[in-house]
Every structure is written in structure tokens, then in C-alpha cells.
Amino acid sequence: MASTVEELVARAEALALDVDLTGVAAWKEADPARRVVGYLPVFVPIEIITAAGMHPVGIIGGTDQVEIIRGDAYFQSYICHIPRSVVELGLSGRLDVCDGFLFPSTCDVIRNMSGIWKLEFPDKYVKYVDVPQNFDPEIGGNWWRHEITSLRADLEKLGEIEITDESMWTAIALHDENRRLLRNLYDLRSERPWLAPTSEVYLMQRAGLVLPVQEHNELLREYTEAATNSDRPLMDNSRIVLAGAFCEQPPLGLLRTLERAGCWIVDDDLLLGPRMITEPIIDPEGPVGDPVDALVKAFLDKAAAASFIYIDEKVKGAELADMVDKRQAEGVIFAAPSFCDPALLDRPMLARALDERGISHISMKYSENTGQFQTIREQAGTFADALKLWSDA
Amino acid sequence: MTETVPAQRDASMALQKKILGEHYHALAQAPETGAKTAYTFVPGNLTELIRSFDMLPVLPEINALQSGMRKQSGDFVREAEKLGHSEDVCTYVKCDIGMLKGGNIGPTGEHIPDPDLLLLSYTGCFTFMKWFELLKQEYDCEIAMLHVPYQGGGEITQEMVDYIVRQLEESVIPKLEKVTGKSFDEDAVSERLALSAQAEEDFVYVLESAKHRPSPIDGYFGGVFYIGPIFSAFRGTQAGIDYYQALRSEVDARIAAGKGPVTPAGEVTDERYRLVVEGPPNWTHFREFWKMFYEENAVCVASTYTKVGGLYDRGFRHDPSKPLESLARYCLGCYTNLNLPQRVDLISDYVREYSADGFLINSVKSCNSFSAGQLVILREVEERTGVPGGFIESDLVDPRYFSAANIKNRLESYLQMIEQRRQPVGATG
Amino acid sequence: MNGLDCWVGIDLGSTTTKAVILDSEGAILGRGITNSRSNYDVACAVARAEAFVDARFALARRTLEADAELAPRTELLLPVIAASFAEAKHGAALDALRAELLVAARNDFYKSWQPALDRVLGEIVDEMEVRAPALFVPGAERKSDFFRDLASSSFMQLSEEAADPGTMPQDVLIGMFDKAIIKVENQELEVSFEEHVGQALDRLLEAAGLEAGERARAAELMEYAVGMPLQERAHVGTGYGRARLPFPKASIRSEILCHGLGAHATFPSTRTVLDIGGQDTKAIQVDERGIVTGFQMNDRCAAGCGRYLGYIADEMNLGVHELGPMAMKSTRKVKINSTCTVFAGAELRDRLNLGQQREDILAGLHRAIMLRAMSLLARSGGVHDDFTFTGGVARNPAAVRALRELVTENYGERKINISAASIYTGALGAAIFARRAEDADESTEEAAA
Amino acid sequence: MTTTCGIDVGASTVKCVIARSDAGQNAERLGQRFERIRRRDIAAVVDEVVDTALGEIDLTRDDLDYVATTGEGEFVTFRTGHFYGMTTHARGAVELEPEARGVLDVGGLHARAILMDERSKVLGYRMTSQCASGSGQFLENIARYLGCSLSEVGELSRQSQEPEAPSGICAVLAETDVINMVSRGIKTEDILKGIHLSMAERYARLLRAAGVKGVILMTGGLAMDTGLVAALGEEIERQGVPAELRTHGDSIFAGALGAALWGAFRHEKLRERGVA
Ligand SMILES: Nc1ncnc2c1ncn2[C@@H]1O[C@H](COP(=O)(O)OP(=O)(O)O)[C@@H](O)[C@H]1O
Ligand SMILES: Nc1ncnc2c1ncn2[C@@H]1O[C@H](COP(=O)(O)OP(=O)(O)O)[C@@H](O)[C@H]1O
Ligand code: SF4
Ligand code: SF4
Ligand code: SF4
């Protein structure tokens, strides 16, 4: 019997809130040769981890579940919340299951965390993954090829295995499928948000951080089908795009608050990393050439806009405004983690792009353990009120 | 660094003020003289390359800190916040934007011309990238990006150097050529690099003079003045060489006389605490902050802030024989491009080499590049060196984040602690 | 009669002012506490006076215990004397309150409520007087040690009963009280120790707890204890308000150093000290000599300090004493999010409205406070054996329980010291500094001579 | 004509307005009432406020076409609809002061600055968030400590000659600061004025950040504090905020009034659609 939406959501929620990584630990215990590699937000080429037969685990903070005790001894009050909860997870042994950690170049905080990890966990494999900010295939492309190749070599050493081109193609195909399913789900949510509200879609995505990609694909398929066929009643809320939440994630309560205050989120940059490549990496005709080249090209040509990537000659905010149009949204809510430099420094530029296209927007800050939503509800509610009272008035 | 010369000052300080003033004047004259300007940053700057195209560098960070010292930054920051910038982000950026909106009047009161090129050679901090993306919205000019990889693995690899050299060749230099209409002259760069290396030698001599007891200089507060020319526009210039020679002889004289550093509040005559300092200073209350040290006879013998524009004291010199590679290695080697273990090593070495009694971290709210991880540095260095670490918090140019009473309380308690620990066992039991 | 030398330490805290008196052996002779109020000099004088009274009791105890005949009666005698003394003080304060209330009610602003105002106020104080003795039965539970709290709590209750929205709003009555109480607590009330010893003994005699012969002997011994001159050799001040103490700079010490030393003196093997006071929290690491090796303190924001509990207590119309015991009854975990002291009250109301139990909410609040303390501890270098918890909040059993849980969860088993007198730790450290400074002076003088 | 009731449940006070209007236009206020919550059950206070207000004008709940809540009023079971605080304050402000294009609402725990247009559409806003410094609650505590009632505070503050500002921003630490000031012999009125000024400084910044211009109406309970209003006027001028501050005797009802009017508007909409 197929599972109901409620069952699937409950399963995803359990996975998403499993800060002790019990599922991952069970996976690993099944075979002593198995390895787990954690990656921090936002973007790493996880295909290589999968290709190595390892379990990539997205380490994205401790949600509002984890009490911060030692984490504050590592970060001052004016640094965002996620690093302290990640440190808390690490020091409390909850990340022991990971054999290695990847720290992508996202911002100075995650960058410096790679060094903290080296100091605190000298026995673990730690790599800082430096994505290029130059998009010439011969220059930035070469650099990225070098980063991917050295990561591949490192993982081969860590797993005492060889990562063949064939396994690379297989992994790329799996993750291509994963991204396709996610895009599907996003489309469904945008068309009929009451069938697949963001508070659920988000859990489905988040579950993927701790599931092997095959299992996650299965979950996404099941949920999308169940949600499509559910008979939830239509609700007339305002349609908004959520922006700024690509790294530290808002608490579930915030997403629910927005929905309750009358806003459907019809697109977002939540958990951006696994969705960063926006088109299939493998050509429709099938794999050709070197899989590393395919990964390099995917980053250079098919990556979503993100504030930690240099805009080059493009116009900042154009992608966001296009997204609003594509999703027929009525406005944008910037919700960024407090003290998140990349998101907050981008905000005025994005706002300007939206203003030029006449799109209304509001802005708020959160941290992953924000527990009081009055202010947020007030702001989102007023925004929704304004869209409601003034659009059909 | 120009307007804000301390009340009591050395001759070198006057010289420094003079050459920096001349630079700002040249900038103000640029519309008449036709000189082109490149906005760029201190860490990983390509001054010799810029100058080889006869362009004048403008350093927004320096403008920001100058505004801080002249107590204008608060208004600038508020202005930027009014324009939608968050309270949470780096105040240098906000200060710069506020200043720009206020007509871009530089520290000498003269106008700073708009950029012909935004040269984003960003080392050791992601905010730089955002900063110029923001400026790009204000100015209709060329922008060139130089991505400098981070020393995540604790070393500079050949791939990193090659990546930078390729970017210099294929994207930065073509932009410079396009903006100036001149073509790249490798020899001209080499010549300038040779001049740089000469000044760098004297600069290092000055910094290391603090190993003497008593130290003739203050390597943090005073150091801020010493780094001015070499970190900004004066590498590869004769003026730079002259300044550091003059400074060096002045320091020699102080050593010979057994004198301590000169501070705005007077000369330190009884060096009581020797401290290594990590992190940038606060600019809005610079003198007040310095005075707190002076009053306790605490001298900063070494600092990491004076290494953001290059780790010359660890042996790096610009090398005329390999100009582009040398610039690449320079960019890669700046302090904020070091990973945390390297920073711990460096500070621990300073504590030993400079016979410090303690090390103090001034954690600034603005700067994640510096601040994220400083508490780990604190514990690691304490463990490795056995000297106590102190921790204070302020900000660069946001006066709202400087609480004098608070900092004084912490500093005093910290120094009292060093003092108490000096006493032999039993004396207090 | 040969006098006794003594040394005084004063900790002028944001909420309470504490004094400790040491004798020449370094033993604690007396302790005194009062709430810090607008006049620091008065607070300081009151705490000191209380400590001297306490020292008298200590002397009395020493004398009684040394007396073969009366030693077994010590536990009967002293509590009664103490209670009688406390009651007398309370009575004097009530008298003062009555007077000040009437002064406040004379203000033109309140003319329209007269003459009813005078009458109602008078009746309230009458009733307070009636209720007072019950507070001072030996062994009785009091909401607070301080007159302000005791009086405020019964005034609130009585004024609510006496008020009438149309003719005598409670706001007006409360306004009177607020005006009067400041005046009252800034007076130094003279209460004679000797007189009350006599009264207490008489009372015991009446109640047939004491025989006439014993009474005479007791009076004799008490007279000795009361008459013994106490010579204050030196004093040191510390605490939040230390800069305002009327002491020379040399007699002022950083509160961090005092807390470290005080904790060391009480528990010589302590290495980590946590002090939670009214508006600051300090985590201190000390070495085997009691010298501070590292510390962290909160600043700028009073979230998670004793005041936080004070707000909550006000909000629930309870005394701070009662919060802990109530929280101990909790059966379910509730997570509290508010970091801000002021918002905590709002959150409390929200949660009560959501139907959560107040015991559970309170337990959650205590845990929230301790979580913040844990952060500071972690920052200062962790929790090492022995671990000592000091400051007013260490008197709160729920806070102690939350701390124990968190320490064990995160650092494993640790020996946790909590002294009944933990609130005096800073003052004790200061007194030790006073004794040492004096020693040092003497030794130099001797060397010079 | 529709008869509607707006209920504004605040952190400290419940306010209620009963109005008759033509889809929110040409409104006539029939009754209004407010009541401090003071540790009582909020639902009971709401019932009491609404029923008393209705009783005074001989109406019952059955006479209401639409009950609109705002503030924390979502839990009110007999509501027809809910509007968010800024939506209602903007509407209420325009009703009380037709020229108003901005609102400064200061209540028990929060303060917010709202920019709106002549139709009272919210165009921008700024609000204080996690920190209670400078809120009504804070002022109340200080007043209690100083031994004066809220109704005296404004008068006293306006007599001040030499205002003395508290050093910190924290509501709790400021209390200690105030104790300090009293001990230094600073006069009550100077302390109050200092506190008013420091609150006003924050509010003026809030207003500036929200980009308000022109006439602004102060709403919420603290609009009754004439000392704060005066201090705010000074600060607005000092900081060069291009605004003119006004208050209204019924400012505390702005939210409830706005809710009542929006309720009428929605009622009409729903009726047109045949829903009601
Ligand atoms: N008997 C008690 N039970 C519970 N809490 C208490 C008790 N006595 C004091 N406290 C708490 O201790 C705090 C005062 O602590 P204290 O160490 O005196 O602070 P400070 O030194 O800042 O004045 C009060 O705010 C109160 O919360
Ligand atoms: N006469 C008054 N003078 C000054 N302030 C007052 C007066 N009456 C009430 N207040 C203040 O108004 C606040 C309530 O305002 P309100 O806007 O209703 O707040 P909330 O919506 O948060 O309950 C109270 O906290 C009180 O401090
Ligand atoms: S939340 Fe923002 S600042 Fe924090 S780690 Fe993520 S990207 Fe960096
Ligand atoms: S974050 Fe730090 S390094 Fe970066 S621009 Fe700001 S001050 Fe400079
Ligand atoms: S959050 Fe609360 S306790 Fe903290 S500074 Fe603000 S008012 Fe004070």
C-alpha cells in the first residue's frame, strides 16, 4: 500500500530532525568498508562522494533542537548561528559517523571553520573546496578541474578504492534524477501550493541530506505522487518567493508562520546546494567524454545564481526577478540569517532589481533556532494583508 | 592616517602624513591631469601593476578607517543602513557607501574621483567581492576580478599560483590595458617590484625592532602608521623607500637611547606588559583605546593586523625576476588568507620571538574573516605558549559598538591577572 | 575588656549588598545582606551593620556554647533572639512606612482622593502590623529577607482588597507605596540590639521556655557578647557598584578577583567558579592558589541573570524564593526561547494562555538561564573539578538542578560545591583581600623598623 | 451600513472599538474601551471589554456584522477575521488624522514605524525586535522605581531642565543605571526626560529607517505620555527626520479602530461575493 502524505511527511520530518544521524550510522554499520563524508553549505560536487560509494551527508546546522553549550565558546555573538550548532554537533560526538568533511567556499565563516575542524578533529579528513570565481573554461574551469580531481584522489585514499569514470557517470545520473525530481516538486508546489505546502516540501528536501540519493529519489517520487492526488482544499493565500535562506536554514516554525500568515511560498533558495545545478549534467544522448569535464562544465554553465558566486557580467537580481515572473508570484520575502554577510550584502542589490521591475518585497532575519515568531508573523501578515486588500480592492 | 597624527609624534609620522596627503591631492587633481584611478583593496593589492599603467590606486578600506578616525563613520554607516543595508554586515562597506553617497570627499577634504576600474583583487575575505558588486551598481566602469584561492590546506601550491597568473594575464591586464589604452610592460613592473623589495626590508627591520626590551615601537597602534605607505599606494615608489629609511633611523635612535614608544598621550617610559595583538583596531576611538594601554604601561610588541597587507617579516619579498608569479604569491600570502592553524602558529611564534607576557584579541564585529575562529585561536595559543590570552570586542568604524567602560574593565582585569600570575607561588596563598 | 580585631569585605551588587567580617584567624565572624538601593552609602552601611549584628550573634553563640550550663540551650535561645530582633526591625520599618505614606498622600496631585486615601493607607498598614509577627516565628518561611519585598507583597495584596475602581483605584495606592518605600529604605533605622536581647529573654521566660536562673546567666553572657568591642582594622569593597563606594582606590578590588578568591577560600580545591548575580554572570577559572587564570562575563545584556528570575517572580506575584521550589515540581520539559529578560514575562503569559503548566514553564526558564551560563563557562575554559556555583541564584534549587544536569551531560561527573553562603562569596574574597593588605602593610612596617 | 467591532489584543492592554460605517468609509465610532490585562486571563479580559463596550451602547454581539481582531487577537474565538497590526494601525491612524502618512506605534513591548499612503496602504515599516529596551514595559518599571504613576510621567518629564540619559540600551541594566542616578541625586524629572530622550532617539531612527515623511501620528498606549511625545518631537527635529509628529486623544485605539474599519470593508467584499 502506498503511504499517505501524512506518513511521508512524518517520515521526512523524523529524518530532517535526526540530529544524531542515527540513520546514517545504521547505513555505515552494515558494512565496515563504508565511509561517510559530511559537507557544509552550500555547494560541493557531491556526485564524487556518491561515485566513491560513500554516503554524502549535508551538515546544515542543528535546527532548533540542539542546545548550544560549547558552540558559543567558538563563535562570538555577532556571527551567524549555524557554525555554533555545527561545532556543538561535532563536539558532542554526533558527527563521529563522518570520516571526512568538506567545507565549500561560501563565506568567511565556513572558510574559517575548515581550520577549526583541522584543529579540533585532527584525525578526520578535512578539505576546503574552493569554487572558482572565474568562469573561463581555461582558467576558472581548470582550477575547478584541479579541485575536483584532487577531491577525487583524496576520497580514493580515504575509501581505499578507485573511483572509476563509470561510477562517476552512474552517480551523476542519480543526482541528475534527484534534481529533476526536486524541480518537479517545486513545479507542483508553484502550481497548487495547497497540495504541497513549503513546510512539507522543505522536509522532503531536508530528508535528502541524510539519505543515500537512491532512497531520497524514491521518497520524492512517493511524496510528489501522494501530494498530487491528495484532496486538500484550495486556499487563497498570497504567492511569494522566499530569498536569502541558502545557507543557515530557517526553523520549520518560520515557514509554518509564513504560511499561516497568508503566504504561499512558490519558490525559494532553501537548501540550495543540492539544487544548485539547474539542468541535467548528462546530455540527453547519454554520457560522453570525461565525467570530470562534465562536472566542471555544469558548474560554469548551469549553476543557479547565488550570493557567494561572483556575478561577473550578469545583472544582480535578474534571476530573482525572473523567478518571480515565472512563478507568478506577487512579492518577495527576503529572509536571511542574522549576521549572514553574503545574503545581507546582496539584499540591497536584489531589492533594487525588484524595485526596477515593480515587485514588492519585505525583509526579515532569523536564526535556525529562532523561537518567537510574533514579529515575523506580523510582517508577513501585513505583507499578505496588503496584497490581499489592495489587489482585489 | 593623515589627519589623525597623534598629539605627540615622531618626525616619521609627519613624513607619512605628507606623502599620503600628496597622494590624495594627486587623486583630487586626476580629472585635470587625466590620471586614471583604480579602486582596489589592501590585502592582495597589485600596486606595482597598477602603477605600471600610471594609474592611481584608491583604497576604500583606508578611506573608511580614516572616516572612523575622524568620527564621520557613524553618520556614513547610518546613511547606508537607511539605504537598506543591514545592521549586521561589515561596517567598512557601509561606511564607504555612506561616504560615496555624501559626495566622496576624502580624508583630506578633497574629492576622490570616480573609479575608471574596480580592480577586485580579493584576498582573504568574501565581503570584498560584495563590496565591489555594490560599487559596480553605482559606477558605470570596468570591473576586473582576481580570484585568489584560500590557503585551506595550509600552503601555497603551484596550481594556485598558476591560476592567479592566468587570471592576471587573461583578465586583469587586458582590463588595465583597455581602461588606460596603454600596453602591459613587464619590465616596468619588475622595476617597481625591485623598489618594493627595498622598502620591505626596512619595514621588516622596524617591526622586528620590537624584540628589543624596552620595545622602541608599538607594533599595533604605532604599527598602524608604519604600514600605511607600504600597504596602500607606495609600494614600488621612491617616496616609499624614503619613508621607511627615515623610519628605520628614527627607530635605531630610540633603541640606542633605550626609549619606549611614543604614544599620543606621551612616551612609554616603564614597559610593564608586552603584548601580542590579534585583530584590527577600533578606529572610532583609536586614541582612547591606545591610551588605555598607555596608562597601564602595556606595549604591543607584535600584531597580526600589520600583516594583512603581506607577511614580509616571514620572508616574503616582491621578486623582480618573476613579476607576475611574485604578485600571485604576494596575494596568496596575506594574513587573512592563512588558514586557522597557520594563524595559531604565527601568533604563538610571535609570543615567543617577542617575549610577550600575553596576547590579546580584539574581536571586531564587522569582520568575519578575522573574527570567526578567534576564540579557538585564543585557546590554542594559550595552550601552546602558556601565556594568558585576553579577549575584547569592538568594531572597526561603528561607534555604536565601542563601549569604553567595558573594554577598560576587561583590559584592566586581564592585565591584573597577568600581574597576579607573575607573583611567585605562595605569595598570595 | 580586650576588643576583637576584624576585617570587613563589602560586595556592592546590583541587587544586593553583602558584607562579611573576618576575625584575626580568618574565620567568618558575621555576614550581612540588604538590597542595593538608590543610596549606595546607605546600602553599604546597612549591610555592614547587619554583619556586625550577625557577628554579635556569632560571639553570643561562642559564649553560650562555651558555657557548661547553657550550652544545651543555645538552639532554643538564639533563634528566638534573632527572630525578635528581626521583628523589631520590621516594626521600625513599618512605622517609617506609615509616616512616609502619609507624606506622599499629602501631594496636591492626590487631593481629589482625600480624605479616604489617608484612611485606606492607614488601614492597610494596620493590617500589615497585625500580620507581621507571623512572619517572624522562628522557622517561618518568608518570601524575602528584605523589607521592600515583604512589604510590597503584602501591600499589593491588601491594596487590591481595599481598592475600588471608582473611588480608590489600586494604581493610586500602589503609587503611594512606590513613593514611600524609596524613602523608607534609604533611612538607616536605629534598632538597639541590647534592648531586643532583653525583650527576647523575657518572652522566653514568659513562655516558660527558660528558667529564671538561666535567664540571668544568659543575660550576663549576652551582655558580654554584646559589649565586646569590635575593631575594624581594614575593609575592601568590590562588586558592580564598587566605584561608588566611599572607599579609597586602594581598598577596591575587581569583583572577578574577589569571587575567585572567595570561592577558593571556601572550597580550596575549586578550579571553576560560576557566579550568577542580579544582572551579570561570571565564569571564572582559578588555579590552586585561588588566582584567576581566565574569566568571561556577560555584558550589555542582562538576559539570563538573577533579574530575569526577579521579573518572572513579579509576573507571577511570587517571591524569588518560591520560584525554584515551584519549578522543581515540573513534570514536562518546556523549551523557552526568550533571551530577553523583559520578554520572558511576555512569553510566560503566552505559554500560560496556551495551557502549559507554570511549573513546567518555570523549569524551562531555569534551564534557559543555565544554558547561557554554560556558554560562558565553555568560553572561559570549561568546567573543571571542583566546580563552585556562587551568587544569589545559587540559592535557587531549580537553578542548581538545571546546572547539575547540564554539567553532567556535557562534562561528565563533576564535584559541584554550593555553599549556603554562596551569595557572600564576593564579599568574603574582599574581606580576605583586606586582611592580606593589612598583613602586607604590617610586614613592611616591621621590616622598616 | 455595517456595524463592526475591532479588537486589538496587545501585550499589556486589550482595546476595542465599535463602529458603524459604509464599507469602512464615513465611519462613526459608537463605542470604545480599553482594559489592562494585568496577569488576568486574556480571553476573559476580551470578553469583559467587548461586552462592556457593547452594553454601554445597548448592543449585543449579535448586532455585529463583522468582528475583526488585530495584534495577538487570533485566538479570539468569536472573530470573523484577523488583520495584522500594521495594516490596522495604518488604517486607524488615517481615520484619526486624515493627513497622516506615517505611524509610530509604541506599545507595551514593541515599537514600530509605518509608512503608508493616503489609502492607508502600508508601504514600508521598521520595528524593534528581540530586545525590549525602550518599550512601554520598560518605562513602567522605571516609573515604578521612581515612585510615580504613568499619568504623572509626562508632566514631570516636561519640567526637566537638565535631562540625564541612561548609559546603556538594555531595559534591565538601565534600571540599575536609574538607581545610580537617584543615588547621585539626579532629579526625577531629569531622569525621566533622559529616558524619554533615549527612547525617542531610537524611535526617530526607526522612523528615519522606515523612510517616513510628512505628518505622522503616534499611536499605541505611549502616545498618552506627553513627555515622550515632546521628546520625540525634539529628536525628530534633531535627527532631521522630515516629519511632523501628531497625537490624538484616542491614539491608543488606532489598531482596534483600523480593525473595525477593515472588517467593514471585508464584510462588504464578502457580501458582494455573496458569502455573507
Ligand atoms: N533565596 C533566594 N532564592 C532564590 N534566588 C535568590 C535568593 N536570593 C537571591 N536570589 C537571586 O539572586 C539574585 C541576586 O544575586 P546577587 O548575587 O546578590 O546579585 P548582585 O551581586 O548582582 O547583587 C536575585 O536577582 C535573585 O534572583
Ligand atoms: N496614561 C499613560 N501614560 C503613559 N503611558 C501609558 C498610559 N497608559 C498606558 N500607557 C502605556 O501604554 C502601554 C500599552 O499600550 P498599547 O499600545 O496598548 O500596548 P500593547 O498593544 O502592547 O498592549 C502600557 O505598557 C503602558 O506603559
Ligand atoms: S549563514 Fe551566511 S554567514 Fe553564516 S555560514 Fe552561512 S553563508 Fe556564512
Ligand atoms: S569583512 Fe573584514 S576583511 Fe572583509 S572588508 Fe570587512 S573588514 Fe575587510
Ligand atoms: S534583550 Fe532584554 S535583557 Fe537584553 S539588552 Fe535587550 S532589554 Fe536588555
- Taking residues B413-429, what's their average pLDDT? 70
Q: Are residues D31 and D141 in the same domain?
A: no
Order of all β-strands in the sheet with A125-129: A55-58, A36-39, A100-104, A125-129
Last residue of a domain, one of C251, C277, C305: C251
- pLDDT band at C339; cut points 50, 70, 90: low
C163/C124 Cα distance (integer angstroms): 11
Least confident piece of the model among A33-42, C70-79, C391-400, D63-72: C70-79
Residues C217/C70, Cβ–Cβ less than 8 Å: yes
Atom of ligand 3 nearest to the CA of A113: 5
The pLDDT tens digits of the residues spanning C252-281 come to 888 888 999 999 999 999 999 999 988 888
Nearest bound ligand to the CA of residue B92? 4
| Interface confidence: ipTM more than 0.90 | no
- Return the pLDDT at C319: 77
- pLDDT band at B1; cut points 50, 70, 90: very low
The pLDDT tens digits of the residues spanning C367-394 come to 988 988 998 899 888 999 899 998 889 9
A227/A196 Cα distance (integer angstroms): 6
Higher pLDDT, C429 or D210: C429
What's the CATH number where D203 sits?
3.30.420.40
- pLDDT band at B39; cut points 50, 70, 90: very high
Nearest to C35 by CA among C27, C45, C43: C43
Domain that holds residue D87: 2-92+253-272
Nearest to B365 among A78, A133, A310 (CB): A78
- Return the pLDDT at C448: 37
Q: Which domains does chain A have, with CATH numbers?
A: 21-166 (3.40.50.11890), 236-269+304-393 (3.40.50.11900)
Nearest to A93 by CA among A17, A15, A20: A20
Nearest CA to ligand 2 atom 4: D225
Nearest CA to ligand 5 atom 6: D131
C201/D206 Cα distance (integer angstroms): 66
Q: Are residues C247 and C266 in the same domain?
A: no
Nearest CA to ligand 4 atom 8: B367
Angle made by CA atoms B109, B114, B115, in degrees to the nearest 5: 125
Helices A5-16, A198-207: axis angle to 10 degrees equals 50
Q: Is the CB of residue C217 below 6 angstroms from any atom belonging to ligand 1?
A: no
The domain tally of chain D equals 2
Q: What is the 3-state secondary structure (H, E, C) of chain C?
A: CCCEEEEEEEEECCCEEEEEEECCCCCEEEEEEEECCCCHHHHHHHHHHHHHHHHHHHHHHHHHHHCCCCHHHHHHHHHHHHHHHHHHHHHHHHHHHHHHHHHHHCCHHHHHHCCHHHHHHHHHHHHHHHHHHHHCCCCCCCCCCCHHHHHHHHHHHHHHHHCECCCECHHHHHHHHHHHHHHHHCCCCCCCHHHHHHHHHHHHHHCCCCCHHHHHHHHHHHHHHHHCCEEEEEEEEECCCHHHCCCCHHHECCHHHHHHHHHHHHCCCCCEEEEECCCCEEEEEECCCCCEEEEEECCCCCCCCHHHHHHHHHHHCCCHHHHHHHHCCCCCCCCCCCCCHHHHHHHHHHHHHCCCCHHHHHHHHHHHHHHHHHHHHHHHCCCCCCEEEECHHHHCHHHHHHHHHHHHHHHCCCCEEECCCHHHHHHHHHHHHHHHHHHHHHHHHHHHC
Higher pLDDT, C375 or B258: B258
* Subunits close to C (at least 3 CB pairs below 8 A): A, B, D
- Return the pLDDT at C240: 75
Q: Are residues D221 and D140 in the same domain?
A: yes
Q: Are residues D224 and D258 in the same domain?
A: no
Residues B98/B135, Cβ–Cβ less than 8 Å: no
Q: Which helix (H) or strand (E) holds D30?
A: strand D25-36
* Chain centroid offset of residue A180 CA: 15
Q: Which residues contact A157 (CB under 8 A, 6 or more apart)?
A: none
Q: Which domains does chain B have, with CATH numbers?
A: 11-184 (3.40.50.11890), 190-422 (3.40.50.11900)
Cell numbers for C122, please give them. 492607614
Higher pLDDT, C355 or C288: C288
In the predicted model, is pLDDT for residue B88 greater than 60? yes
What are residue A125's DSSP bridge partners?
A: A100
In the predicted model, is pLDDT for residue B6 greater than 50? no
The domain tally of chain C equals 3
Phi-psi region of C426 (alpha: psi -120 to 50; beta: other; left: phi over 0): alpha
Q: Are residues D260 and D193 in the same domain?
A: no
A208/D83 Cα distance (integer angstroms): 37
Q: Which residue has the cell 493607607?
A: C121
Q: Which of C113, C176, C185, C349 to mutate to test the interface with D (most CBs of D within 10 A)?
A: C349
- Residue A95 buriedness (CB in 10 A; 0-12 / 13-18 / 19+): buried
Q: Are residues D84 and D114 in the same domain?
A: no
C437 domain residue, yes or no: no
Q: Are residues D117 and D68 in the same domain?
A: no
Q: Are residues C139 and C174 in the same domain?
A: yes
Q: Are residues D34 and D18 in the same domain?
A: yes
Q: Are residues C337 and C373 in the same domain?
A: yes
* Subunits close to B (at least 3 CB pairs below 8 A): A, C, D
Residue D6 one-letter amino acid: G
**Coil, strand or helix: which one is A308?**
coil
Closest approach of chain B CAs to the CA of D207, in angstroms? 10
Q: Are residues D150 and D184 in the same domain?
A: yes
* Chain centroid offset of residue D109 CA: 11
The pLDDT tens digits of the residues spanning B224-239 come to 999 999 998 999 999 9
Cell numbers for D168, please give them. 546603556
Cell numbers for C210, please give them. 527558660
Q: Are residues C152 and C243 in the same domain?
A: no
D194/D153 Cα distance (integer angstroms): 12
Q: Are residues D59 and D134 in the same domain?
A: no
Strands of D205-264 (E only): list them: 214-219, 243-246
- Return the pLDDT at C208: 61
- pLDDT band at C446; cut points 50, 70, 90: very low
The pLDDT tens digits of the residues spanning C299-325 come to 667 777 888 888 788 777 777 888 999
Q: Using beta carbons and an 8 Å cutoff, which residues of C are at the interface with A? A: 335-338, 343, 347, 371, 374-376, 378-379, 406, 410
- Return the pLDDT at B37: 97
Higher pLDDT, D166 or B120: B120
In the predicted model, is pLDDT for residue C144 greater than 80? no
* Chain centroid offset of residue C97 CA: 21
The pLDDT tens digits of the residues spanning B240-255 come to 999 999 999 999 999 9
Residues A131/A43, Cβ–Cβ less than 8 Å: yes
- Return the pLDDT at D133: 67
Of B42, B77, B90, the residue with max ligand 4 atoms within 8 A of its CB, to mutate for a pocket test, comes to B90
- Taking residues D75-90, what's their average pLDDT? 92
Domain that holds residue C414: 262-429
Atom of ligand 2 nearest to the CA of D15: 18
B420/B422 Cα distance (integer angstroms): 5
Give the number of other CB atoms < 10 A from CB of residue C92.
16
Q: Is the CB of residue C344 below 6 angstroms from any atom belonging to ligand 5?
A: no
| CA dihedral angle for residue A279, residue A280, residue A281, residue A283, rounded to 10 degrees | -120
Nearest to A352 by CA among B85, B94, B127: B85
Residues across chain D: 276
Residues of chain C with C-beta less than 8 angstroms from the C-beta of D172: 279, 302, 305, 307-308, 311, 341-342
The pLDDT tens digits of the residues spanning B143-185 come to 999 999 999 999 999 999 999 999 999 999 999 999 999 999 9
Nearest to C152 by CA among C123, C180, C186, C189: C180
pTM assigned to the model: 0.86
Residues D227/D43, Cβ–Cβ less than 8 Å: no
**Coil, strand or helix: which one is A392?**
coil
A331-337 and A238-243 strand pairing: parallel
Q: Are residues C329 and C414 in the same domain?
A: yes
Q: Are residues C372 and C275 in the same domain?
A: yes
- pLDDT band at C153; cut points 50, 70, 90: confident
Q: Which of D151, D183, D191 to mutate to test the interface with C (most CBs of C within 10 A)?
A: D183
Q: Are residues C241 and C140 in the same domain?
A: no
The pLDDT tens digits of the residues spanning D127-148 come to 876 666 667 777 887 887 787 8
- Taking residues C216-232, what's their average pLDDT? 83
Nearest to C59 by CA among C40, C81, C38: C81
Q: Which helix (H) or strand (E) holds D28?
A: strand D25-36
Q: Are residues C313 and C404 in the same domain?
A: yes
Residue B216 one-letter amino acid: P
Nearest to A316 by CA among B127, B121, B137, B128: B137
C199 domain residue, yes or no: no
In the predicted model, is pLDDT for residue D58 greater than 50? yes
Q: Are residues D75 and D207 in the same domain?
A: no
C360/C371 Cα distance (integer angstroms): 16
Nearest to D87 among A374, A377, A385 (CB): A385
Q: Quote the mean pLDDT of chain D.
A: 89
C424 domain residue, yes or no: yes
Q: Are residues D121 and A381, on separate chains, in Cβ contact within 8 Å?
A: no
Q: Are residues C36 and C117 in the same domain?
A: no
Tell how far the Cα of A30 is from the centroid of ligand 1, in angstroms: 54
Nearest to B236 by CA among B62, B46, B61: B46
In the predicted model, is pLDDT for residue B429 greater than 70? no
Report, as ranges of residue numbers, the positions in chain A whose pLDDT lies below 50: 393
B105: DSSP letter:
B
Q: Which of C37, C279, C341, C342 to mutate to test the interface with D (most CBs of D within 10 A)?
A: C342
Nearest to A70 among C335, C337, C378 (CB): C378
Q: Are residues D66 and D166 in the same domain?
A: no
The pLDDT tens digits of the residues spanning B274-297 come to 999 999 999 999 999 999 999 999
Q: Are residues C41 and C138 in the same domain?
A: no
- pLDDT band at B426; cut points 50, 70, 90: very low
What's the CATH number where C392 sits?
3.30.420.40
Q: Are residues C271 and C401 in the same domain?
A: yes
Whether the bond between B301 and the residue before it is cis, its omega within 30 degrees of 0, is: no
Q: Are residues D145 and D223 in the same domain?
A: yes
In the predicted model, is pLDDT for residue B321 greater than 60? yes
Q: Using beta carbons and an 8 Å cutoff, which residues of A are at the interface with C? A: 67-73, 92, 369-372
Q: Are residues A109 and B372, on separate chains, in Cβ contact within 8 Å?
A: yes
